[in-house]
Amino acid sequence: MDMNAMRGQRVAIVGGGLAGIAAAEALSRFPFEIHLFEAKRSLGGRAGAYRDSDHPSLIDRCQHVAMGCCTNFLGLCERLDLKSCFRRDTKLHFIDREGRVHPFSGSSWLPAPLHLASAFRRQKYLSRPDQKRIAAALWEMAPPSALKKYHNYKMYDWLKEQFQSEEAISRFWEIVLVSALGAPLSEVSFSASRKVFVDGFLRNRQAYQIYVPRIPLQDVFDVQAAQRLGEKGVQFHRQTTVRQVAYFNSRFNVRVGQGGEGTYENFIAAVPWHQSPKLFSTVLKNLIPKLDNVDEIDSSPISSVHLWLDSPLTKLPHAVLLDRTSQWVFNHGPRQLKDTTGYYYQVVISASQDLAGIKQEELVRKVLAELVSAFHVPQSPYLLDQQVVTEKQAVFSATPDLERLRPSQGTILPGLALAGDWTKTGWPSTMEGAVRSGYLAAEAILRKYGYHQPVMDADLPTSLLSKMLWGLSNNDDSR
């Protein structure tokens, strides 16, 4: 590797979401001249926020959380000094239809997968026969050989073949997988589902823990992350739309705005799958044949119901609600609202396509009634304000056909790379998948200059017991 060969070489990154931010962070470790273009006013992409005139603080469009197994997202936060922006929750709270709270936390000393055995048994909303059948299904899915055996299965079909009851499916498998994969179990693949459970629960004792933002995500990524990257020399071009990129004389010609253009030795497209083909000239698009098929990638909506109440509902920081339309509720505490204080709760409903025909007021009434029931509130609080935000293309659906549609980050043309959680990362549509794609795109650029070391962070180590039980390793074919 010749660092001098990189010095002054220009890199254009189009897209200021987590994929673009991660690519910029990785390349900023080397002497490139980095330009990041974002069509919107702020960075962060789908992990962003909006401002309302009645609210002094920003409002996240949807609640994004990371898990302990998201080593690259957490590594990005470490390098950009963002870890204090997130709190780590080591205990989850499941609330059944009667309003009983079932805490879920791992042992501090037992190795994976035994660390969650007692937590699993405490989930009394699952019958003892269902718990035994769930454990047997987890045992069947854990070995790497299960990927080959069941690779064509949709998860619901596989669960029925494993004798899972409808109660077990709705109260255990769905509550985990629909939130993680953003689609009904009748659509998602066995492979993607297995990854959630193996990486999130069976490999490592810390993997299940969640990291929740303490401040609006726009403050995290558009303010603090941008400041750190700016200090590293990254140049930002906000509200600058890239119209097209062409290739001429071994360089990329990037056309922006109303006729402006620039020339770069390297180019990374870090935009959503449905926008990516529009960026490239015909010649470049022919060099990335998988772009012809990205319109076959299915998307799934996520709805976020924001409620500001005149009195608190619970002291719990978050809760997972069972047998209800509401799935996750996050307690953001007291927030300033006009000339008063409101208690702010955000309810997240993944795979929310069934809500399309419901009026917002009706959905808000339903969600608030579910919260009052779940938390045993004696008197329904007064609703000070409400907002419903639905991201129609929030995530891609992790269907069995997805992997054949996902392109790699590197292309046959040195210096040209793709990024985005929809590219081939081995992960579903998550912040971790987006960050990994950015790092893999950076690695593709670096290979042009003879640098072949990974820039990504290592996965959490697999426990010795999980290796012995199922033959899992950090390099098995699930990764």
Mean pLDDT of the chain: 94
List, for residues 116-141, the tens digit of each pLDDT value.
Answer: 999 999 999 999 999 999 999 999 99
Separation of alpha carbons 1 and 301, rounded Å:
44
Average confidence (pLDDT) over 160-179: 96
Q: How confident is the model at residue 476 (pLDDT cuts 50, 70, 90)?
A: low
Average confidence (pLDDT) over 168-197: 94
| pLDDT (0 to 100) of residue 7 | 92
| pLDDT (0 to 100) of residue 150 | 97
Report strand pairing: 10-14 vs 33-38: parallel
Average confidence (pLDDT) over 278-298: 92
Average confidence (pLDDT) over 18-32: 98
Judged against a pLDDT cut of 90, whether residue 281 lies above it is answered with: yes
Q: DSSP letters along 108-121, please?
A: SSSPTTGGGHHHHH
Q: How many residues does the chain have?
A: 479
Q: How confident is the model at residue 478 (pLDDT cuts 50, 70, 90)?
A: very low
**Worst-scoring range by mean pLDDT, 114-118, 159-163, 263-267, 390-394?**
390-394
Average confidence (pLDDT) over 259-287: 94
Judged against a pLDDT cut of 90, whether residue 177 lies above it is answered with: yes
Give the percent of the chain with pLDDT over 70.
Answer: 99
Neighbours of 175 (CB within 10 A): 18
Average confidence (pLDDT) over 6-26: 97
Asked if 302 contacts 394 with a C-beta cutoff of 8 angstroms, the reply is: yes
The domains located in the chain, with CATH, are 3-51+215-297+399-447 (3.50.50.60), 100-208 (no CATH), 299-396 (3.90.660.10)
| pLDDT (0 to 100) of residue 477 | 46
| pLDDT (0 to 100) of residue 475 | 61
Task: Enter the tokens of residue 435.
Answer: 């960050």
Average confidence (pLDDT) over 321-329: 96
Report strand pairing: 328-337 vs 340-350: antiparallel
| pLDDT (0 to 100) of residue 479 | 39
